[in-house]
């Protein structure tokens, strides 16, 4: 019993070593991540604020609080800014029903700065990380199902867009990248609903993105495409072929009756 494992000195040494290791590990992690990111984002936020005052505040207010020409941006989050500015919707061109998609006028660094600044105004959805946008494990069949139940009523079964009531348009998704598809879902631009992670979990979003990318490649995930023009073509097909067959039968019966 000379060197008992429960000896107070042994216990103290073990605790001391454990605490020391944790401290060193923490210091290493801390110094490798924290100071750098805070430094970068500090200047980024300042840059973003300057760009915001110059290009956005006329409609959104000097502190993003909103004016009669544009909504408040407090709490919309970085994802909404990245989406709106990278698709060229923002800066808006004036009062209108729906800001049109156009060529982005800010570069990537400027967009990141604007997004970082608006994110400081209030908590909101962040720009999705590469990990969230990784669709390699996504289920295509599930994506198709989810797309048809959640998105097709506005964007069309083929994702090529469609008109909405009151003059709005759900745009074609044929040139949207994974990041903007994700950002549209979490920010819900204009008439589009927000698909939060509780209504549509991350894996479901990834499945939808994978499915849209499949549509973009022009592959038919199932069935005969018939040009993928939707119910009109399919209806026309039934009319032409179906009526043709009926007519042929009628003529045949008529011929036999003579």
Q: Interface with ligand HEC includes 87 (CB under 6 A)?
A: yes
Considering beta carbons, is residue 49 or 155 the nearer one to ligand HEC?
Answer: 155
- Residue 213 to residue 175: CA distance in whole angstroms: 9
Q: For Cα atoms 174, 135, 177, give the angle at the middle one, nearest 5 degrees.
A: 30
- Taking contact as CB under 6 A, which single stretch among the options 35-43, 83-91, 136-144, 229-237 is the one that binds ligand HEC? 83-91
Q: Interface with ligand HEC includes 116 (CB under 6 A)?
A: no
Minimum Å gap between C-beta 240 and ligand HEC is 32
CA-to-CA separations, 239 to 134, 235, 236, 244, 245, in angstroms, rounded? 43, 6, 5, 8, 10
Minimum Å gap between C-beta 140 and ligand HEC is 14
Return the residue of 44, 84, 158, 206 that touches ligand HEC, per CB under 6 A: 84
Minimum Å gap between C-beta 111 and ligand HEC is 8
Q: What residue has token string 């008529």? A: 254
- Residue 71 to residue 89: CA distance in whole angstroms: 14
Q: Are 89 and 189 in contact (CB under 8 A)?
A: yes
- Taking contact as CB under 6 A, which single stretch among the options 9-17, 28-36, 81-89, 223-231 is the one that binds ligand HEC? 81-89
Q: Interface with ligand HEC includes 176 (CB under 6 A)?
A: yes
Minimum Å gap between C-beta 11 and ligand HEC is 57
Region for residue 187 given its phi and psi (left: phi exceeds 0; alpha: psi -120 to 50; beta: otherwise): alpha
Q: How many CB atoms lie within 10 A of CB 135?
A: 22
- Residue 156 to residue 163: CA distance in whole angstroms: 9
Considering beta carbons, is residue 34 or 148 the nearer one to ligand HEC?
Answer: 148
Q: How far is Cα of residue 178 from the mean position of the Cα atoms in its chain?
A: 7
Considering beta carbons, is residue 72 or 228 the nearer one to ligand HEC?
Answer: 72
Considering beta carbons, is residue 4 or 149 the nearer one to ligand HEC?
Answer: 149
Q: Interface with ligand HEC includes 89 (CB under 6 A)?
A: yes
- Residue 112 to residue 36: CA distance in whole angstroms: 16
Return the residue of 44, 45, 56, 156 that touches ligand HEC, per CB under 6 A: 56
Rg (Cα) of the chain, in Å, rounded?
A: 28
> Which residues are at the interface with ligand HEC (CB under 6 A)?
55-56, 58-60, 69-71, 73, 76, 80-81, 84-85, 87, 89-92, 94, 98-99, 101, 114, 150-151, 153-155, 164, 168, 170-171, 173, 176, 180-181, 184-185, 187, 189-193, 195, 208
């Amino acid at each position: 019993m000379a060197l008992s494992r429960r000896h107070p000195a042994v216990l103290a040494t073990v605790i001391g070593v454990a605490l020391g290791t944790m401290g060193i590990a923490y210091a290493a992690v801390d110094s490798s991540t924290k100071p750098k990111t805070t430094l970068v984002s500090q200047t980024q936020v300042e840059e973003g604020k300057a760009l915001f005052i110059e290009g956005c505040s006329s409609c959104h207010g000097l502190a993003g609080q909103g004016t009669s020409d544009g909504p408040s941006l407090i709490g919309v989050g970085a994802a909404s800014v990245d989406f709106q500015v990278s698709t060229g919707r923002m800066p808006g061109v004036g009062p209108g029903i729906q800001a049109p998609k156009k060529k982005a006028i800010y570069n990537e660094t400027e967009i990141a700065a604007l997004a970082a600044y608006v994110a400081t105004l209030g908590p909101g959805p962040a720009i999705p990380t590469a990990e969230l946008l990784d669709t390699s494990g996504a289920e295509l069949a599930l994506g198709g199902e989810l797309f048809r139940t959640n998105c097709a009523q506005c964007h069309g079964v083929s994702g090529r867009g469609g008109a909405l009531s009151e003059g709005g348009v759900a745009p074609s998704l044929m040139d949207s990248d994974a990041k903007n598809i994700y950002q549209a879902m979490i920010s819900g631009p204009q008439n589009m609903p927000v698909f939060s992670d509780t209504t549509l979990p991350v894996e479901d979003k990834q499945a939808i993105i994978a499915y849209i990318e499949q549509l973009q490649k022009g592959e038919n995930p199932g069935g005969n495409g018939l040009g993928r023009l939707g119910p009109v073509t399919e209806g026309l097909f039934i009319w032409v072929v179906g009526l043709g067959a009926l007519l042929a039968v009628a003529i045949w019966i008529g011929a036999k009756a003579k």
